[in-house]
A and B are shown apart, each in its own frame.
Chain A
Amino acid sequence: MNVTQDLSILHLIINASAVVQIVMAILAGVSVMSWYYIFMKWFAVRQARTKTEVFERDFWSGGDLNSLYNSAVNDRHHAGSMERIFEAGFREFAKLKTQKNLDPKDVVDGSRRAMRATYQREVDGLEAHLAFLASVGSVSPYIGLFGTVWGIMHSFRGLANVGQATLSAVAPGIAEALVATAIGLFAAIPAVLAYNRFAHDIDRLSIRYESFMEEFSNILQRQMR
């Protein structure tokens, strides 16, 4: 045992036992992935919200439905989710309207079904990877805890060989082990926060889409007369 003992973080990580090191590596990877998804979701949700707002403004400003539809079709790659829902509904509506022997109710129902299908796809796309964030948030503290428990077990077993228990004999081992918990918490806390935030945002967006679908169905029904 040295008189001067370096307890910097690098030293702790290098000196940790293999299991703890594996746990730390897993947690580091999980942390990187979860932060990647957090940022990606963040951009995606923000973009979906601004595009929805732009489209709602265009839609309720009383423009021609046909021109809106055309712009949605032509600019498909930049269209937001709500625009795509509108596009699917209006396309179905236009197709069904040309068939003479159909009940107006069926036409509206058909377009609503098309809209619902697109809506589900869109919400599914928005919710992608949220489950990963939820799992990271709930599981990575346990992984870190496992690493810590293992490391502490290890250092206590080493203590048995020392014979005389001094704090300086166990302290480095415990510090090493606690690094695993720290990394686990670092991965988990943002993941939980982001999961709750995004779930809430996506819920609100999907409510907006659903109310838009209802309102648009009413407009189509009025057009059938």
Chain B
Amino acid sequence: MILERPEEPGKKYALAFTILVHVGLIAALFLGVQWKRSAPEVMDVELWSSKPTPATYVPPPPPQPEPEPEVKPEPKPVPKIEPKPEPLPPKKPDIVVKEEKKPPKPEPKKPEPKPEPPKPEPKKPEPKVPDFSKELARETATKQPRPSTQQMANAAAAESEQRASSNRRGLESYSTKIRIKIRGNIVLPPNIQGNPEAVFTVDQLPTGEVLAVKLKRSSGNPGLDQAIERAILKSSPLPKPDDPALFQRSLEIKYKPLEE
């Protein structure tokens, strides 16, 4: 005598719970397991100490006294960055682009990438050495923050300087990329004393492939020099900069083995 068995209880619930458990697991895996290897952050330091501007500067009133379209840019970054004068000098990038071999740039407006604190372009309205005390005195006397030509020039200079600094930042991230790639390929010889720096000149193709590596200044340790040279050759093709304008056929790579 076969009795028909009743339906297994809770099939739908079991299915729902199963889906719930697996969705939970997948979510935990996706949220919990985020291993990422990323390049170290490029230090972003801007030097503003040389250009003091009044801190109590408010945006100019709509009817501008001298509407110059060319010098119009928003003077916003000035009050923002002014209160934190960073005493740190910008990190000197290890890769210094050679000036003389520079190909013609597609954007002539960009200032030249230089590791030194950038100078504003000569094309832009160059502020005179700001007569700071005079301006401040006048500012406090009038109590009316009006955008004078001096301030406008200041703002324009600030903007050009910012552009230069962003350019420098791109250069620095480029050099960091190259350095990380080389570091991944290097096999250091065992006996390194101190942290000697070697300087290499590297010629590369536009695709980043390394054509030639020349030792410019030895680190004093021939084994280390060879190791770095091998690492640079192995790193071919070198990574490309984010901004194609920063690409140089000839790079100067300074490499320290124990840098971090």
Instruction: List residues of chain A with CB under 8 Å of any chain B CB.
Output: 1, 3-10, 31-32, 35-40, 42-44, 47, 76-79, 84, 88, 114, 118, 125, 164, 166, 168, 175, 186
CA gap between A9 and B30 in the complex, in Å:
6
A164 to chain B: which residues have CB within 8 Å?
Answer: 185, 187, 234
With contact pairs A31-B22, A39-B13 given, residues A9 and B239 touching in the complex (Cβ less than 8 Å): no
Decide if B33 touches A35 in the complex (CB within 8 Å).
no
A7 to chain B: which residues have CB within 8 Å?
Answer: 34-37
With contact pairs A4-B36, A164-B185 given, residues A36 and B18 touching in the complex (Cβ less than 8 Å): yes
With contact pairs A8-B30, A32-B22, A35-B22 given, residues A43 and B36 touching in the complex (Cβ less than 8 Å): no
Extra A-B contacts (18), CB below 8 Å, given A8-B34, A31-B22, A40-B9: A1-B181, A3-B39, A3-B239, A4-B38, A5-B37, A7-B36, A9-B29, A32-B22, A36-B15, A37-B14, A43-B10, A43-B13, A44-B8, A76-B3, A78-B6, A125-B5, A164-B234, A168-B184
Question: For chain B, which range describes its interface: under 10, 10 to 19, 20 to 34, or 35 or more residues?
Answer: 20 to 34
B177 to chain A: which residues have CB within 8 Å?
Answer: 3
**Nearest CB on A from B18, distance (A):** 4
B11 at interface by CB-CB < 8 Å:
yes
Decide if B8 touches A40 in the complex (CB within 8 Å).
yes
B29 to chain A: which residues have CB within 8 Å?
Answer: 9
Instruction: List residues of chain B with CB under 8 Å of any chain A CB.
Output: 1, 3, 5-6, 8-11, 13-15, 17-18, 21-22, 25, 29-30, 33-39, 177, 180-181, 184-185, 187, 234, 239
With contact pairs A39-B13, A77-B6 given, residues A32 and B18 touching in the complex (Cβ less than 8 Å): yes
CA gap between A193 and B174 in the complex, in Å:
54
Q: Which residue of A lies closest to B33 (CB)?
A: A9
Decide if A35 touches B184 in the complex (CB within 8 Å).
no
- Contact with B25, one of A3, A4, A175, A186 (Cβ below 8 angstroms): A186
CA gap between A168 and B18 in the complex, in Å:
37
With contact pairs A3-B239, A4-B36 given, residues A40 and B10 touching in the complex (Cβ less than 8 Å): yes
CA gap between A133 and B184 in the complex, in Å:
47
**Nearest CB on B from A170, distance (A):** 13
**Nearest CB on A from B104, distance (A):** 29
B234 to chain A: which residues have CB within 8 Å?
Answer: 164
CA gap between A76 and B8 in the complex, in Å:
14
Decide if B14 touches A39 in the complex (CB within 8 Å).
yes
**Nearest CB on B from A136, distance (A):** 13
- Contact with B35, one of A8, A32, A35, A114 (Cβ below 8 angstroms): A8
Q: Which residue of B lies closest to A186 (CB)?
A: B25
A44 to chain B: which residues have CB within 8 Å?
Answer: 8-10
With contact pairs A36-B15, A40-B14, A125-B5 given, residues A6 and B184 touching in the complex (Cβ less than 8 Å): no
With contact pairs A47-B9, A84-B3 given, residues A4 and B37 touching in the complex (Cβ less than 8 Å): yes
CA gap between A35 and B15 in the complex, in Å:
9
- Contact with A35, one of B5, B6, B8, B21 (Cβ below 8 angstroms): B21
CA gap between A4 and B36 in the complex, in Å:
7
A32 to chain B: which residues have CB within 8 Å?
Answer: 18, 22
Decide if B11 touches A40 in the complex (CB within 8 Å).
yes
B17 to chain A: which residues have CB within 8 Å?
Answer: 35, 39
With contact pairs A3-B177, A36-B15, A44-B8 given, residues A8 and B184 touching in the complex (Cβ less than 8 Å): no
CA gap between A79 and B3 in the complex, in Å:
11
Q: Which residue of A lies closest to B3 (CB)?
A: A84
A79 to chain B: which residues have CB within 8 Å?
Answer: 6
Q: Which residue of B lies closest to A125 (CB)?
A: B5
Q: Which residue of B lies closest to A77 (CB)?
A: B6
CA gap between A47 and B8 in the complex, in Å:
10
B13 to chain A: which residues have CB within 8 Å?
Answer: 39, 43
CA gap between A38 and B10 in the complex, in Å:
11
- Contact with A8, one of B5, B15, B33, B180 (Cβ below 8 angstroms): B33
B5 to chain A: which residues have CB within 8 Å?
Answer: 125
